[in-house]
Amino acid sequence: MIPFRSAALALVALVAAGCAPTAVSPTQSPSPSATPTPVPATSAPAPGPSAPPRLEVSDAPITGTGRKLLLFQLANETRFRAITWDASVSGVLPGQVAATPGWSQAPDGAPYLVDRTIYTGEGRSLGTVPWPSKVTPTWSIAGTSLCAAVPDGGTGSSMRFEHLVIGQSVRVVARDFATYSDNAGYPVLACDEGTDRAIVAVFGQGIAPVRLWVFRLSTGAVIRSVDYAGRLGWVAASADGTILVETLPFDTASGRWSATIRSADDGAKIGAVDGFVGQGFSGDNTLLVGASQNATALVDWRTGHAVWSASGPYGGFLTEPAGRRVAIGIGFVGGSDQRDVYLVQRDGSAPLLPAGVRVGLRY
C-alpha cells in the first residue's frame, strides 16, 4: 500500500514541474444547495516577501484546557510543545510522551494520537485505536472521535469504513464499498458528527484520485459517489465534509493547473481557482490552501484575494478549528521534519515557527 502522505509529497514534485499560478475566479460562499454563479477570473497571488523573524517559544508549562493549540516539536526533542493559534502564548505540554513521526492532533490540540495510543493534553492515556500503524485515521472536528478506512484482509478483500468514539468500541459505518489494493491509498478526507458527513477516497498508484464516497456518518448511507477514472490530479475536502476541491491534471497546452470547488453532496460547482493544486480549506471553509510551481498561497476563493503567499514548495497544512488561521509548511526535509512552518493570521501576517520544527501537518 502506498502511504497517502507519500502520494501527497509526490504530488508536490509534480506541482514543481508545472507553471506558476495565473488567475483566481471568485464565486459565492459555499453551500451544498447553492446555485453557482461563476465570475470572471482575477489576478492570482505572487510569492510573498522574505521570511519574518522566527518566533521565540517558551519552556513554561501550557495545557490544552480552554485553549485551541497547535502542537509541535523542536529538532532533537521528544516532548510536545504547543502554541495558541494567535501566537500569543506558547509552552510545553505536561506529561512525558516520546513522540514519533506517526503522531497527529485533534483540531483543538488535545487529545492527540501517538502511534496507536490516544493521550489527553496532560499526557494521560485514553486508550488505543484498533487500526494497524499503516492506517492513518482522521480526527473529527470535535476531537472526540476518529475515522479510518481499513481492509478486511489482503489485496482483493473488501474495505470497511469505521468510526471510533474515544472510550467506546469501534463502529463499522459502511463496508464493501471498495476492494482493497496494496498499490492504493484510502484516506478519510473528512469526518464530522456535526454535519453527519464523512468522505473516503481512493488514490491509485501515481497519486491520481480514483473514487470518492460521501457517507452519512450516522448510518453509512452513501449520499454521493464519484468515479474519477483518472480525470483528476488531486482532490481534497473541507473538514466538515461539505465542500470539495478537485484539481485537473496539469494542462501542457495552457501551462497551468485548474482547481474547482464543488458541493460535496451534489457536485454543484461553487468556485474555481486557476493555476493551483487545491490542497484543503481553512476551518471556516472560506480560504483555500494552494500550491503551484514557485509559490504556496492561502486564498479567499470567493473573492480572489490572496491572504498570504510564500515562495517554495508546499509542505502541508493544519487549520484552526472553525477559524481562518492556518499553519502552512514550506519545504519537506524528511520524516516529519519541516523546513519552515508559518502560522498565517487573519490579517495575512505569518509568524514563523522555529527552524527544524516538526508539526503534524496534513498533506
Distance CA 266, CA 67 (A): 36
Contact 323, 85 (CB under 8 A): yes
Distance CA 307, CA 311 (A): 14
For cell 519574518, the residue is 52
CB-count exposure of residue 39 (10 Å: 0-12, 13-18, 19+)? middle
Would the pLDDT of 197 be above 50?
A: yes
Residues 151-188 pLDDT 10s:
999 999 999 999 999 999 999 999 999 999 999 999 99
The residue with greater pLDDT, 338 or 44, is 338
Residues 264-290 pLDDT 10s:
999 999 999 988 899 999 999 999 999
Q: Length of the chain, please?
A: 363
Domains of the chain by range and CATH? 4-344 (2.130.10)
Residues 208-264 pLDDT 10s:
899 999 999 999 999 999 999 879 999 999 999 999 999 998 888 887 889 999 999
Q: Alpha-carbon Rg of the chain, whole angstroms?
A: 19
314: left (phi over 0), alpha (psi -120 to 50) or beta: beta
Best CA proximity match to 277, nearest among 49, 48, 44, 105:
44
Q: In what order do the strands lie in the sheet with 314-319?
A: 314-319, 326-334, 337-344
User: pTM for the whole thing?
Assistant: 0.87
- pLDDT at 63 (0 to 100): 74
